[in-house]
Amino acid sequence: MPDSPSYDLLISHTPAHSPAVRPLLEALRPLGVSYRTAPARECPELPPGFGLAKACLVWASEDYFQSRAAQTQLAAAYLAQDRDAAPAARRLLLVNAAAGTRHIYPVPLRDWRYAIAPEPQDASGHAALAAALRAHCAGLAEPLAQTRPPTAPPWYAAHQARPEPTLIFLRRERELWDIHALLDPAPTPATAEPGPVVAVAGIEGQGKSTLAREYAHRFGPAFPGGIFWLTAREAKPIASVADLAENPPLKMQLLAFLHALSPQDPTPPTADTPTLLDRLGSHLAEAGQPFLWIVDDLPEGLNGPAFQQWLAPAAPLGRTLLTTRSQRYDEQVECIHLPPLDEETAWHLLTWNLPPTSGPERAATARLLDELGRQPLAITAANAAARGNRRQRNAPYTALRRRLGDPAHGAVIVASNLHSGLPKAQETALAGALLAAMSAMGEAGHDLLRLAANLADAPLPVDFVVDCLAGSGLCEEPQRQHPLRARCLELLGIPQPSAAELAHRHAGSGIAALDRLGLGEVAGGSLHLHSLTIHAMRIANHDLRRLAALHRAAVGVLHDLAGTCAAAGDWRRLAALAPHARALTADPREHSAQETQADLAHRARLAAFLGDMDMAHGLPQRALEMYRHAGAGLARAVAADAEAWDWLADLARVRECTGDILSARGDAAGALDTYLKSLRIRKRLTAQDPGREDWQLGQWSLYLKAGEALAQGGDLDKARNSYRAGLTQRSALPPAALADGEREYALAAAFERLAGLYRKKKQAEAALDALKPALEIYQKLAGPPPSNPKFAPAPARVHGQLAEILRERGETQPALEHYRQAIAAYTQLSGQDSANLDWKRQLAQCHRWAGEISAAQSQPEEAIKHYRARTNLLKRLISPGPPDAALQREIAVNYAKLGLLCDQTGDSPTALGYYRKALAGAAQWAELVPDDHSLHSELAWVEQRLAQEKTQSAA
């Protein structure tokens, strides 16, 4: 066959039918048809050069549709085929090599039959088929790769690399084709309706996740927009709009997707979940490619909005594939229920590498399958247990059945706590099979399961596993047990392996054992263990010392990682392990006898870091739960060691953070209680070490926050006292501690808000008392040059408030002084930023009242200056858009007052000019508001004054 970039025909068949295909090859060769054969072996990868063929010929035997490799080739050819093409242009050609068509699946492929396979001795039939194939291929221009390349689409999963195809697939071929028939992305209607949703349902251990993973690998090229893998095991029913806005398990994964799709996306991490979904949907819609959205392990009980939020965005491009143990989503989506394995597949899975060798053994194998209920996980474990029993090589399945029925084996106890959803007898058999398999995996495998038993039911990154094993010290114990060997190695100059090297070896040995026994596998850089396997270890583990050592090591590794993330302000590495960290910090009241107070404090501090991470991502509800766990743990640790100052400082910070969340939720009483507890700790810390500026700053911050909570609760006097205590604390701080000014600004702003509350209660004296320290701090911060632009307008704003309060109290001269200072400050600000209209409005208002007071003090010349300045400012506020009626009214009234003031100074000509402008302004206002005659009545005296002047002039 000539070696060319492309060729005519790829012939896909099973190895068993190679002799049947050979006559066709011999008939093709003299006709010049270039071809390659692809015997479908066990490897699920496509053969080299698959996409270079113009067409794919499938030798459709019965065993072809039961072969994983053959089905992979069939799916790739099916995806590359234009299903609307005429028969003459088809690229997927089926030669039926069996009687009937029932073996051909999916059903639409039965209409794609190209020919019936000739008998092996039918030379003329093979010649005719070869000639027809030559003519068919001659009409095809480009190879398969140019129609739809069989390349894997981008893979997106939060903190998890693309996993390789699983080594063992359970012949769920029909289910795969059924899924694709429902998710088929070929039609893309122009509609806003969401894309199709398919759920794969089944009890634990039925292979739902494996099926979804296989579908992503086999049919992935149909989704060039990418494959998005989400884990929903932490999803919960949602009872409120606030819960819907947070939805932490989904939100953290959406953030990871957005970062992967667009690292420069401006969407802040604190944005709510609906916003992130919309943003991600916009990215995917812009790409315009179908994508696959896989939601794995969706729990039962999600209500409508909570369920809908987990579905793919960017309708109708997204196709959603769910896996769930629940059968209650049938009415909402298309559902495929996974049944137990058929007898042939179950037999193959149990005996594929250890076939029974006698009649009694085959009978025992069949009974064992019935007892296990043909459940995939149980069969895999039973196969591992049978292979691991070296003493019963001649009758492993008989021995296994005997062991499963032994009450001393412990299967009944484990089964009573598994809650797998299987019938009781099958659950006991499953527990027995798991225990039997575990007994054959060695200490390294047991240590990996012990580590997983401490953590969440989630993938374990291999590097994290190695770090935990190294930190536990368990890998070094065999070295310490052989001191003579260690001494000999030392004398020979052979260095001892490091703790990290020992941990790598131990982890590798354990992973190999788990993989060999079918209890776990490494995919995407992480160790995947079934939840039932982990749960069985939690129940059956008896080595509490090793369990506690691994627990302590996991806490230490995660605590150090969290500290690094907090210092860098980048939480992504901790987010990848957050489910495990939350499992370790779930309840500080639950701890083993081996856990010291230092261990407890370490665990509590890890919970605090998790709270910080949640706050950084806008998840206050979950952060509150973490802070409460942290507070409870630190309180217990401090109770045992009252002089652990670092623990005390952590406890104070955690309680302050708790108070911040409660305050934001409007729980003033709860916030105040936690603030005061934190404040007491900070006072104690400051008394212990007065030189610690961070402890003093924390105390100052708490005075401020406690005052805010008191003000929120309505106790204004206590709030003022708390703020004044903050002022006292501020005066004790060195100038360097106040360099940035943000804390001082916050204190001044608190006094300013307090003054506003006093004003609402008509307590003018208390309001003045609150504004004075605010003005003092603001003036200091706004001094030349201001370090922060937001500091600059603060003194002008407070001067205006002081002037208003004094004016309302009748103290006009002090009020006028404050108005003058506000005018000077706003004039300077407006010169720096002429586009700031708010400053111009405030300046115009100050000129108004300064003019009113000057006029009342019989200083008309001074009042005229203020009103003229106000008039100019009001004119500048007129925008080019629609006329502002209220502004027109103010200008008209201002002109009238200017005329009155000019009359008082004896400048009648100027006064008359202002009166005319006032009436002109009133006329413009009347056009804007024709039904309101209030301004006409208000300026009636102006008309009378002009009429009087006209009469006098005529006389």
pLDDT in tens, 283-302: 999 998 999 999 999 998 88
Taking the CA of residue 151 as centre, how many other CA atoms within 13 Å lie in the half-sphere pointing to its CB? 11
Number of residues assigned to the chain: 955
More reliable by pLDDT, 278 or 330: 278
d(CA 911, CA 395): 120
d(CA 283, CA 263): 12
Determine the pLDDT at residue 190.
54
Res 475 pLDDT > 70: yes
152 DSSP 8-state letter: P
pLDDT in tens, 558-581: 999 999 999 999 999 999 999 999
- Helices 376-388 and 531-540: crossing angle in degrees, nearest 10, is 60
Determine the pLDDT at residue 111.
84
Q: Name which of 154-168, 461-475, 646-660 the model is least confident about.
A: 154-168
Determine the pLDDT at residue 499.
80
Instruction: Write out the two tokens for 561.
Output: 């990682």
Instruction: Write out the two tokens for 765.
Output: 């004296």
If pLDDT is split at 50, 70 and 90, which confidence band does 408 have? low
If pLDDT is split at 50, 70 and 90, which confidence band does 488 have? low
Instruction: Write out the two tokens for 934.
Output: 């209030």
Annotate 484-507 with b (16+ C-beta within 10 A) or e (fewer): eeeeeeeeeeeeeeebeebbbebb
If pLDDT is split at 50, 70 and 90, which confidence band does 482 have? low
CA-based nearest residue to 97, from 69, 68, 126:
126
The SS3 call for residue 57 is strand
Instruction: Write out the two tokens for 140.
Output: 């095809």
If pLDDT is split at 50, 70 and 90, which confidence band does 787 have? low
527 DSSP 8-state letter: E
Give this prediction's pTM: 0.84
Which residues are within 8 A (CB) of 609 and not within 5 positions of it... i.e. 6 or more apart? 559, 562, 563, 565, 566, 574
Res 801 pLDDT > 90: yes
Res 88 pLDDT > 90: no
99 DSSP 8-state letter: S
Cis omega before residue 407 (within 30°)? Answer: no
Region 665-672 average pLDDT: 94
Which residues are within 8 A (CB) of 373 and not within 5 positions of it... i.e. 6 or more apart? 340, 422, 423, 426, 429
Q: Name which of 237-241, 287-291, 392-396, 881-885 the model is least confident about.
A: 392-396
The SS3 call for residue 199 is strand
User: Cβ–Cβ contacts within 10 Å for residue 296, how many?
Assistant: 19
Res 69 pLDDT > 90: no
More reliable by pLDDT, 731 or 771: 771
Region 612-635 average pLDDT: 94
Cβ–Cβ < 8 Å for 233, 256: no
Res 831 pLDDT > 90: no
Region 400-407 average pLDDT: 80
End-to-end Cα separation, the chain, in angstroms: 124
Average pLDDT, whole number, for the chain?
A: 87
Taking the CA of residue 688 as centre, how many other CA atoms within 13 Å lie in the half-sphere pointing to its CB? 14
User: DSSP readout, 706-728?
Assistant: HHHHHHHTT-HHHHHHHHHHHHH
Instruction: Write out the two tokens for 872.
Output: 């100019």
Taking the CA of residue 676 as centre, how many other CA atoms within 13 Å lie in the half-sphere pointing to its CB? 12
Cβ–Cβ < 8 Å for 46, 76: yes
Taking the CA of residue 571 as centre, how many other CA atoms within 13 Å lie in the half-sphere pointing to its CB? 18
d(CA 374, CA 723): 71
What are the helix and strand counts (H, E) for the chain? 40, 14
Cβ–Cβ < 8 Å for 454, 583: yes
Q: Name which of 98-102, 338-342, 918-922, 932-936 the model is least confident about.
A: 932-936
Q: Which secondary structure element, helix H or strand E, spans residue 39, and what is its range?
A: strand 35-39
Q: Which secondary structure element, helix H or strand E, spans residue 793, and what is its range?
A: none
If pLDDT is split at 50, 70 and 90, which confidence band does 1 have? very low
Instruction: Write out the two tokens for 720.
Output: 């003022």
Which residues are within 8 A (CB) of 241 and not within 5 positions of it... i.e. 6 or more apart? none
Cβ–Cβ < 8 Å for 755, 801: yes
Which residues are within 8 A (CB) of 842 and not within 5 positions of it... i.e. 6 or more apart? 796, 797, 800, 822, 826
d(CA 509, CA 443): 9
Res 496 pLDDT > 80: no
Cβ–Cβ < 8 Å for 59, 202: no
- Helices 645-664 and 620-640: crossing angle in degrees, nearest 10, is 150
CA-based nearest residue to 35, from 100, 102, 129:
129
- Helices 837-856 and 860-876: crossing angle in degrees, nearest 10, is 160
Instruction: Write out the two tokens for 879.
Output: 């925008």
- Owner of token pair 């006709």: 31
Instruction: Write out the two tokens for 581.
Output: 């960290």
CA-based nearest residue to 876, from 848, 845, 843, 840:
840
**pLDDT > 70: what percent of the chain?**
93
pLDDT in tens, 188-228: 555 557 789 999 998 888 889 989 999 999 999 899 999 99
Determine the pLDDT at residue 492.
65
**pLDDT > 90: what percent of the chain?**
42
The SS3 call for residue 393 is coil
Region 775-794 average pLDDT: 81
Which residues are within 8 A (CB) of 304 and not within 5 positions of it... i.e. 6 or more apart? none
Taking the CA of residue 434 as centre, how many other CA atoms within 13 Å lie in the half-sphere pointing to its CB? 36
Cβ–Cβ < 8 Å for 254, 230: no
Cβ–Cβ < 8 Å for 379, 517: no
